[in-house]
Every structure is written in structure tokens, then in C-alpha cells.
Structure 1
Amino acid sequence: MDTETVIVAAPVAGERQEHHSYIDWPTVIGGVVLASAISLVLLAFGSAIGLSFANFEAGPDVNPIWIAIAAASWLLWVQISSFMAGGYLTGRLRRRFNDATEDESDIRDGAHGLLVWAGALVVGAVIAVGGIGAAVNAVGSTVSTLTTAAANVAGDAAEGGLDPQAYFVDTLFRAPPGSVPAAGSLQDYRGEAMRILANGAVTGTVSDPDKTYLAQLVSANTGLSPEDATTRVNEVLTAVDQVRAQAADAAEVARKWTVLGAFLTAASLLVSGAAAYWAAMKGGNHRDKNTVIPGFGRF
């Protein structure tokens, strides 16, 4: 009985290979894991020595701007080095298809580096975005100073915040201008004064009738003359305005730092993307040439 023998020839160099996609996902995932791991280690090390956006306080004699510059430089270095390592690994390990020219192969290697960059951004978002999150929290904390100051002034206001009707209810039962307020407990007077100051913090100013009434309350409960009571009220209102202005200035400075930090982070990410592309191409070139890196080959 005759038999037939089928011989399948092995593919030769330059012959087209069967494949479903030019993307070598296992090597991309490997590059993402490596880039994320290196980023985590370096960021943890930087945080240990104070190079972190989360804390600019290095000492009473150190200008925070220098700490910010050092932290930004360190973040840039971490991003570039980690993405270059991940991109190089992917380019070096990527399976090359023999249907492409050298230039096309370089582009494919670089594209794999960009995939590592994009994947590591998603995986490392919690790590890399920690600086921005801290800056945003700083803005939120600074802006909340305004609310906190108003709440401190409000004192005994409703627990959920200042009751917008409480101040206007108080105005219904005030004594006429120039007369002595009706007898009441000091706690009542303090609560009313707090609501007047809180309303001024919300509206931005304390009206002249409110100032006059505050002076009457102070005079009736402290024994000060009307003139001295008015002086005391003006001093307190000036102090409140200064605190509010300082809080607003701090909020504006924090906002500017947030914008700058976001811009620098975006710019460094773009630079690191280009670095990942270049490193992946370099890894592909070393793969094709069987380049041996001293110290990483056989011992």
C-alpha cells in the first residue's frame, strides 16, 4: 500500500509569517510591569528622603521653592528612567515579523514602547498622580480655611453650617439704634455677635448698622464707653478681614502651584513617552544585532 509523506519546510528569513496582530502583548505587559515596579521603588525612595510633592517642609531655613524644584526634578527622572527601562525590555523581547523593513521594524518597536508608556500610566496612576493629588488637597485645605474661619467666627451656629435665617431673625428683635439692648444672657449676646460676624464673612462686609449694634452689645456687657466699644469692634473686624485676606492669598498661591504642577507633570509625561519610544527602538536594534550589554551576559 502506497503512502505519501508530506514535508513541511521551515520558514526562511524574509518569508511572510502567519499572525493575527503585530502587537506582542506579552512583551508589552512585561514592560508595563517593569516600568511600574521601578517607578514604585524610586518614588518610595524619593519620599523617604523628602523628594515628594506631598511635603515641601524640609526645614525652617529652606525655601520651599527649592524643595518643589527638587521634587519635580526627581519625578521627571523617575518617569523617564522607568519608562525607558520598560520600553527597552519590550523592544528587546518583542517577536519580530520578517515582513518588515528595518525602518518599519523600528517603528513597530517604538510603538510597543508607547504601549508600555500608556499602560504604565494607567497602572501607575495611583503612584505618579500622587503629587497632583497632594497639590489638589493642598488647594482644598487652603480654600477651606475661609470656611473654617467663618465657622470659627460663627461659633454656636447650626452644626450643619450657618443658618441663613438666624441673622435676619436677630435683626427683628434688636433694640432701636442708640438705646441699650434688652437684658439677656451673655451667651445670647455672644451668639448674636457670632452670627453677625459670620454673616459678614459670607457677604464680605459688616454693615454700619451691624457695627453700631455690636458696639452697643459690647458696651452693655463690658462697661466700656460707646467710643471704646466702637474702637474694639473696629479692631476685631479689621483682624477678621486680615485673616480672610491671608486665607484668600494662600488659596491663590496654592491654585497657581496646582496649575504649575499639573503643567510640569503633563510635560514630563510627554517627555517620558518619547523616551519610551526611543528606548524600545534601541532594544529592538540590540535584539536584531544580538548586542550583548557588558555585565548582563554570561559571567
Structure 2
Amino acid sequence: MAIDAPTGVTVVSGAASTTDDVSYVDWPAIFAGILLASAISVVFISFGSAIGLNFLDFDGEGASPIWIAIAAASWFLWVQISSFMAGGYLTGRLRRRHFDATEHESDVRDGAHGLLVWAGAAVLGTIIAIGGIGAAVSTAGNVVATATNAASNAADVSVDPNAYFIDTLFRSNQPAAGGDISAVRDEAGRIFAQAALGDGTIAADDKTYLANVVAANTGLTPEEASARVDQVAAAVNDARLKAIETARIARNTGIIGAFLIAASLLISAIGAYWAAQKGGNHRDDETVFADVFRRF
């Protein structure tokens, strides 16, 4: 059964149009679409980043971080979807059509090329972003580690996890006063570190010992020394809770971000498929957008 070509399109007959070794996948058109989609993403994401940095104020007088995050996510989603659609449209417009297919089959093949543009650009973007994501994860890990160290206010307890228990083994009932108190400070740090690694509570025996040490080395009364120990313990516990809250927010943000990226990729795939079909239709209809790209 003969299939008529679209109006205004010339069908070239010959061995090249009937041979079985001709691929229906037009890779040059796909690569062109991938390059266009990637270029649009880089340009507009960089442009959006420059605008977003103007709203950041480290003095606390800038825009709300929540609104900045919403605006950044919206901009990223718009850029991602529109860039994939632009790449898909270009590929559909450039694809060489084989006129042994029906109009419906041609639309499907145009859309499939749009999906290949989407897949290629997504893989390329992932490869490029791996370095940035790795750096961000490393930075976040350093921040959490710093907060944890500040909360523990201790020497490096990872060197000897039994240091706290050894301290309790050789603890004196009459703490020495005056002189070099570096050993006493290190032991106090290990006590607070042990509490920070747990539920933030300092054991009663440790509180009593710290109060005696503080009183012996500062000249405070036992009541004043005990109050100071409680004050520092509360501050350490507050820092620990803030570190936990920061980690929880970072985890939830990562979860929400992952779902948004997955959803936007699915929408982008649909957009690239539709745009490639639209580009193929414009190719067949010889649409030139005379009203938009007018020659002067």
C-alpha cells in the first residue's frame, strides 16, 4: 500500500529509501538537541544563581531562606522542563523522516527522538553535577561534624573511646588545685563529650566531680561551682540539639529535593516527547515562523 507524503514534501525514491540497513534513529539530530538543552540549562541556571545571590544577606536582613529556596526550586524546574522541550523540538525539526511510515508512526518516532534527547541530556547533566553534589555533601558533612565537635567541646575522643571510663577509674576524691589544669580540662571535655554522644545528660557522679574540680581551681563556692557546671551542661546539650535539628532539616530537604527532581524529570520527559512531535509536525508542514523570525 502506497503512503502519500505530506503536502509540499518531496519523496526521494531509490535504493537508499528502501534498504533495510537505514536506521530510523537520527543521531546527529539527537546530539543537536542534547547540546541545545544542556546549553540552555547552563545559561539560565547560572543567570538564576546570579540573581539569587543578590537576595542573600549574611547579616540576617535579606529575604527569607524559605522563600529563596522556593524561588530557586521553581526556577530550576522551569529551566529544566523548558530546556528539554527546546532540545526535543529541535531534534524533531531536524530529524530526517522516512516516508515508509504513516503519519501516526512518524509522530511516534519524532517523540521517541525527543525521549532520547531527554535521556542523553539527563545523563550528561548527572555526570556534570556529580562533582557539585559530592562537594555539597562533603561540605554538609563538615558542617555537621563541626557542630558535633562544638557540642561535645572535647578533645579527639575518637582516638581512645575508653578514655572517659579510664578517667573514672583513676579519679581522685580530692581534686588538685592550682598549677597546670590542662589535664583537668581535658578530662572535663571527655565528660561532656560522653554526654553529647548519649542523650545529653551528665551523670550525677560526673556533675559532683566537675563541681569539686571547678571549685578547687576557680575559688568558687561549691554551690556556685555546681551552678556553673549545670549552666555549661545545658549549653552543651542545646548545641547538641541544634546539631541534631540541623541534620534532620538537611535530611528532609534532601528527601524533598530528590522527589522534586524525579517529578520534574518525568514531566520533562513528557514535554520533550510532545515538543519533538510538534517539531516534526512543523517540519512536515514547512512552518517557518515568518511572524516571529522576520527578515529585515
- TM-score, length-normalised on structure 1? 0.84
56 and 105 in structure 1: CA distance in 2 versus 1, 3 angstrom threshold: farther
8 Å CA contact 1:51–1:67 kept in 2: the answer is no
Structure 2: tracts of 5 or more residues without a match: 1-11
2:280 aligned with 1:279, yes or no? no
Deviation at 1:236, TM superposition (A): 0.7
8 Å CA contact 1:84–1:272 kept in 2: the answer is yes
- 151, 172, 175: which one aligns with 1:181: 175
Percent pairwise identity: 59
Deviations 1:217-252 (A, max 9, x none): 101101112121111111110111111111211221
258 and 51 in structure 1: CA distance in 2 versus 1, 3 angstrom threshold: farther
Q: Which residue identity does 1:47 align to in structure 2? A: S
Q: Which residue identity does 2:204 align to in structure 1? A: D
Q: Which residue identity does 1:199 align to in structure 2? A: Q
Deviation at 1:141, TM superposition (A): 4.8
- What's 1:192 paired with? 187
The 2-side partners of 1:188 and 1:73 are apart by 55
RMSD (Å), alpha carbons: 2.7
The 2-side partners of 1:132 and 1:257 are apart by 14
8 Å CA contact 1:51–1:74 kept in 2: the answer is no
Deviations 1:11-66 (A, max 9, x none): 17xx74543421111111111111111111111111111179xx965862422111
Q: Which residue identity does 2:284 align to in structure 1? A: D
The 2-side partners of 1:38 and 1:264 are apart by 20
The 1-side partners of 2:259 and 2:128 are apart by 17
2:158 aligned with 1:164, yes or no? no
Q: Which residue identity does 1:154 align to in structure 2? A: A
Q: Which residue identity does 2:248 align to in structure 1? A: E
8 Å CA contact 2:151–2:239 kept in 1: the answer is no
- TM-score, length-normalised on structure 2? 0.84
- What's 1:208 paired with? 204
The 2-side partners of 1:175 and 1:239 are apart by 26
Question: For structure 1, which segment, 278-287 or 64-73, has the greater mean C-alpha deviation from structure 2 after superposition?
Answer: 64-73
Question: For structure 1, which segment, 167-176 or 213-222, has the greater mean C-alpha deviation from structure 2 after superposition?
Answer: 167-176
Deviation at 1:185, TM superposition (A): 2.3
- What's 2:3 paired with? none
- What's 1:67 paired with? 68
- What's 2:230 paired with? 234
106 and 17 in structure 1: CA distance in 2 versus 1, 3 angstrom threshold: farther
The 2-side partners of 1:206 and 1:241 are apart by 10
Output aligned runs, 1:29-108, within 5 Å.
Answer: 29-50=31-52, 60-108=61-109
How many aligned positions are there? 279
Question: For structure 1, which segment, 192-201 or 181-190, has the greater mean C-alpha deviation from structure 2 after superposition?
Answer: 181-190
Question: For structure 1, which segment, 277-286 or 16-25, has the greater mean C-alpha deviation from structure 2 after superposition?
Answer: 16-25
Deviation at 1:131, TM superposition (A): 8.4
What SS is found at the alignment partner of 1:50?
helix
8 Å CA contact 1:17–1:98 kept in 2: the answer is no
Question: For structure 1, which segment, 107-116 or 247-256, has the greater mean C-alpha deviation from structure 2 after superposition?
Answer: 247-256
- 253, 265, 269: which one aligns with 2:261: 265
2:19 aligned with 1:24, yes or no? no
8 Å CA contact 2:176–2:216 kept in 1: the answer is no
Deviations 1:174-196 (A, max 9, x none): 123xxx21456211111111111
Structure 1: tracts of 5 or more residues without a match: 1-9
The 1-side partners of 2:24 and 2:102 are apart by 14
- What's 1:291 paired with? 287
Q: Which residue identity does 2:247 align to in structure 1? A: A
95 and 112 in structure 1: CA distance in 2 versus 1, 3 angstrom threshold: same
Deviations 1:132-152 (A, max 9, x none): 66875675355324433246x
Q: Which residue identity does 1:201 align to in structure 2? A: A
- What's 1:4 paired with? none
The 1-side partners of 2:57 and 2:248 are apart by 19
- 246, 250, 264: which one aligns with 1:254: 250
What SS is found at the alignment partner of 1:96?
coil
